[in-house]
Chains A and B, each alone.
Chain A
């Protein structure tokens, strides 16, 4: 950490006596906060290695290489299969962990860079001393992750730079560990993966707190506005701007320019991916089109007049797609220039003229305010020129299909396209249109087709996907008072858990499964959180009364609440809520005290992350940040392609002992939580896993009984029979759900069950008798 902070209580000199002298050099958190700094402020990549190894001793990697080869240096390619080592000496196991670390570093670097750009932009706009305020009077503990990790309590935008400097330094160290000839031990790689995840959450918190504070987003507001989502929400009669990506300043500037020029309400500002969520936090007038997977279908729909892209999760071929659709493009990020000329210094009038006339197909403009003006003017002037998209004759186009199956081979959703296409060729387009629900919008089917059929276009044209839905926009952090209210019931297990649905849209069976799971767990009185594309998927389902989950359930962080925290970077508020429970409810010091707080969260807070459509490297680093806090993560089937799971062994009793903080005794607590990272095959299997993974050693008997009831119910629904591992989770007769006693007692007897104590659990020896 750069910066020096010297405090002198009292000093006597020939010139006199000075009291409470404080000298600060550089940038550090300021203010009156006087919590003692714990053992690991701004930890190095090895400072928490002991904690990581405690976790990884329980949750061992199960490696599933996507590739047996290493091709990262010119020694190779090296075949690592069959126990062979690479020319550098690396094993297959270490190589897999190394690739996971690379992915996590990409994710953490992306969020850190995102945060850096936001903070620099907002400092330039609002000044370094602009106060950070993510929750008004409702949030005193404003940045729990930064406080926990760095031991600082930032108060201004300028203070955030100090936190970012730490994150940037760590990402460089972590990335360097993947170089040939650095780490060779898989568990050390895995420890660094966890460190990367922690850094990622720190950077995400910086990004979201900065934008909440300076862009007037909802501030920890459970009643954040319901906004519109879906293509059906867009008024195509108006000029329409599409913004794609994650970094909101250009989109915010578009909204600001509309307001300043009196055009608010006369231009539709629509978004895809996290920028969409964040601009809806800025203005209720912004429309969320859909998740990352909707880029092709919306660009081709003929609705937008202009495409504005920022960074992250933007299709690499978006410029070509937009150009084919006759849409001008404005790129706005130094990380995503898409080959366009930098016209940042050119006058706005010239840019507008060139884009409207089609003299240039697109421009790079790295000044958000200029983007705001130019985008609005171009959309307004282009609207009368918008080309009509001719109605597609699906049957005629589908007739060209020869049924070769190349599209199906390329489809990540394993959709049965050929049969549907052949039926469409005979005029029956229903089956083809039905594929859209599970389509991830990748377009690989079109590249694969030897006949040149625009398969994705035909699928989209065969389905009326113009619904509109209500989504509660991102509320930001959880209020301190909400933590006080739920902290006790959560830690005791009487609220059965927190389930966070996060991540991308790489679903196998469509996003509706997310909505179904969200509804199921809200009905079961879990606290349900959402973010990013998963938050959108949760909204895209109407119940029998025509309500989306956000209309049906409250937005409070409470049992049965459905809490949309916001975009990807808002995920830090979910991990932050777990940390706040340790601080606000349990009075644990946060400052630089990571291991103790993680130990608390791991043993007491029944939180589970679910990234049902996880696709990206950012999803990997987000998950890793949850893992280091001991929060398990369930991913969908495609998540197995992250190359390794972190699996516990329920059958090894010796793996599941904790120390009792009161006595120091080792106590068997059962496999809770059983896994740290696991892919589920179906929604039903995921739900049974979630209920099981929400158990914690600290559960009271009443809490454990409630959790076991949910587990039995969801397990039976999936597997058609009682779980065979209940004896591992039942500690005392009082843990047994009353209504299930007759069924459970014989199972316990058959497994030689004996009653065992409920400890005050910890994995850390230093926590005993404190």
Chain B
């Protein structure tokens, strides 16, 4: 397995590091096997990339295609709504982290704890710390960082990718049809 540096190399956390998602099939398997997934989308996903496309639009399509409920943090909510996705919850990432860490929290739909937490679009340091919190949480969720910057504290993380490669990975991993 490739050894990947964190997007900010100083952010080394300990003896374990995330498994990099280097093939779309790995992402597909994570999506497929998740029983109670949740996608957390932060405001950095609003940034325009490449030719003006935004991560958040692709993430909204991915969530809709996979039927994954979304937690919007920061200012991501209105953009998700504009993309046709109504977030299941709008709250701060830290508040959400506190909830997700609790094995007794019934989830965004009161149906039980979430087993797989996908995260994307948070400020790198905030995503890093949130994932660190969840890694040690009593709820023991599987965490998957979808941001194009390797997050060592996740269980699985997309590696450091430029926009075209990231777009292709997410589109194929979530089985999106048509141009991404």
Residues of A within 8 A of B101 (CB): 62
Stretch at the interface among B10-18, B28-36, B165-173: B10-18
Is B16 touching A678 in the complex (CB atoms < 8 A)? no
With contacts A64-B97, A718-B75, A719-B72 taken as known, whether A410 is within 8 angstroms of B8 at the C-beta atoms is: yes
How far, in angstroms, from A638 to B126 measured CA to CA in the complex?
7
Is B72 touching A81 in the complex (CB atoms < 8 A)? no
With contacts A640-B129, A719-B90 taken as known, whether A62 is within 8 angstroms of B98 at the C-beta atoms is: yes
**Shortest distance between the CB of A644 and any CB in chain B (Å):** 8
How far, in angstroms, from A599 to B78 measured CA to CA in the complex?
39
In the assembled complex, B25 has its CB within 8 A of some CB on chain A: no
**Shortest distance between the CB of B106 and any CB in chain A (Å):** 9
> Which A609-655 residues have a C-beta within 8 angstroms of B?
637-638, 640-641, 643, 645, 647, 649, 651
With contacts A645-B98, A689-B92 taken as known, whether A81 is within 8 angstroms of B78 at the C-beta atoms is: no
Residues of B within 8 A of A68 (CB): 13-16, 136
When the two chains form the complex, which single residue of A62, A643, A718 contacts B94, counting CB atoms closer than 8 Å? A62
> Which B64-94 residues have a C-beta within 8 angstroms of A?
72-75, 77-78, 81, 89-90, 92-94
Is A414 touching B124 in the complex (CB atoms < 8 A)? yes
Is A63 touching B15 in the complex (CB atoms < 8 A)? no
Is A684 touching B132 in the complex (CB atoms < 8 A)? no
Is B16 touching A675 in the complex (CB atoms < 8 A)? no
Is B123 touching A685 in the complex (CB atoms < 8 A)? no
Q: Which residue of B lies closest to A644 (CB)?
A: B133
With contacts A62-B97, A62-B101, A63-B133 taken as known, whether A637 is within 8 angstroms of B75 at the C-beta atoms is: no
Residues of A within 8 A of B14 (CB): 65, 67-69, 79, 81
With contacts A79-B14, A79-B15, A682-B75 taken as known, whether A412 is within 8 angstroms of B95 at the C-beta atoms is: no
How far, in angstroms, from A679 to B43 measured CA to CA in the complex?
14
Q: Which residue of A lies closest to B46 (CB)?
A: A682
**How many of chain B's residues have a CB under 8 angstroms from any CB in A?**
41
> Which B139-157 residues have a C-beta within 8 angstroms of A?
none
In the assembled complex, A66 has its CB within 8 A of some CB on chain B: yes
Is A409 touching B136 in the complex (CB atoms < 8 A)? no
With contacts A79-B15, A81-B14 taken as known, whether A721 is within 8 angstroms of B125 at the C-beta atoms is: no
In the assembled complex, A251 has its CB within 8 A of some CB on chain B: no
Residues of B within 8 A of A63 (CB): 133, 136
**Shortest distance between the CB of A155 and any CB in chain B (Å):** 44
Q: Which residue of A lies closest to B131 (CB)?
A: A64
Residues of B within 8 A of A92 (CB): 136
Is B15 touching A66 in the complex (CB atoms < 8 A)? no
When the two chains form the complex, which single residue of A60, A409, A640, A721 contacts B7, counting CB atoms closer than 8 Å? A409
With contacts A63-B133, A684-B75 taken as known, whether A409 is within 8 angstroms of B94 at the C-beta atoms is: no
When the two chains form the complex, which single residue of B8, B9, B125, B133 contacts A637, counting CB atoms closer than 8 Å? B125
Residues of A within 8 A of B9 (CB): 409-410
Is B72 touching A647 in the complex (CB atoms < 8 A)? no
In the assembled complex, B42 has its CB within 8 A of some CB on chain A: yes
> Which A192-244 residues have a C-beta within 8 angstroms of B?
none
Is A721 touching B74 in the complex (CB atoms < 8 A)? no
Is B77 touching A721 in the complex (CB atoms < 8 A)? yes
> Which B47-77 residues have a C-beta within 8 angstroms of A?
72-75, 77
Q: Which residue of B lies closest to A416 (CB)?
A: B47
In the assembled complex, A681 has its CB within 8 A of some CB on chain B: yes
Residues of A within 8 A of B89 (CB): 724
Residues of B within 8 A of A678 (CB): 92, 94-95
With contacts A638-B125, A719-B72, A720-B81 taken as known, whether A409 is within 8 angstroms of B8 at the C-beta atoms is: yes
When the two chains form the complex, which single residue of B7, B81, B125, B136 contacts A412, counting CB atoms closer than 8 Å? B125
**Shortest distance between the CB of A692 and any CB in chain B (Å):** 10
Is B7 touching A679 in the complex (CB atoms < 8 A)? no
In the assembled complex, B130 has its CB within 8 A of some CB on chain A: yes
Is B73 touching A685 in the complex (CB atoms < 8 A)? yes
Q: Which residue of A lies closest to B11 (CB)?
A: A66
Name the residue in A64, A69, A81 with the highest tally of chain B Cβ atoms < 10 Å from its Cβ.
A64
When the two chains form the complex, which single residue of A60, A65, A651, A681 contacts B43, counting CB atoms closer than 8 Å? A681
Q: Which residue of A lies closest to B16 (CB)?
A: A81
With contacts A69-B15, A92-B136 taken as known, whether A679 is within 8 angstroms of B94 at the C-beta atoms is: yes
In the assembled complex, B117 has its CB within 8 A of some CB on chain A: no
In the assembled complex, B122 has its CB within 8 A of some CB on chain A: yes
In the assembled complex, A680 has its CB within 8 A of some CB on chain B: yes
Q: Which residue of A lies closest to B72 (CB)?
A: A719
Residues of A within 8 A of B7 (CB): 409
> Which A277-294 residues have a C-beta within 8 angstroms of B?
none
**Shortest distance between the CB of A390 and any CB in chain B (Å):** 34
With contacts A64-B133, A65-B136, A720-B77 taken as known, whether A681 is within 8 angstroms of B93 at the C-beta atoms is: yes
The interface of chain A, by Cβ under 8 A from chain B, is 60, 62-69, 79, 81, 92, 409-410, 412, 414, 508, 637-638, 640-641, 643, 645, 647, 649, 651, 675, 678-682, 684-685, 689, 718-721, 724
Instruction: List 30 interface pairs A-B (beta carbons < 8 Å), by A numbering.
Output: A60-B98, A62-B97, A64-B132, A65-B132, A68-B15, A68-B16, A68-B136, A69-B15, A79-B15, A81-B136, A409-B7, A410-B9, A412-B8, A508-B123, A637-B126, A640-B94, A640-B126, A640-B129, A645-B98, A647-B94, A651-B105, A678-B94, A679-B94, A684-B75, A685-B75, A718-B75, A718-B90, A719-B78, A720-B78, A724-B89
- For the complex of A and B, the 5 pairs showing the least CB-CB separation, nearest first, are A68-B14, A720-B78, A681-B74, A719-B90, A64-B133
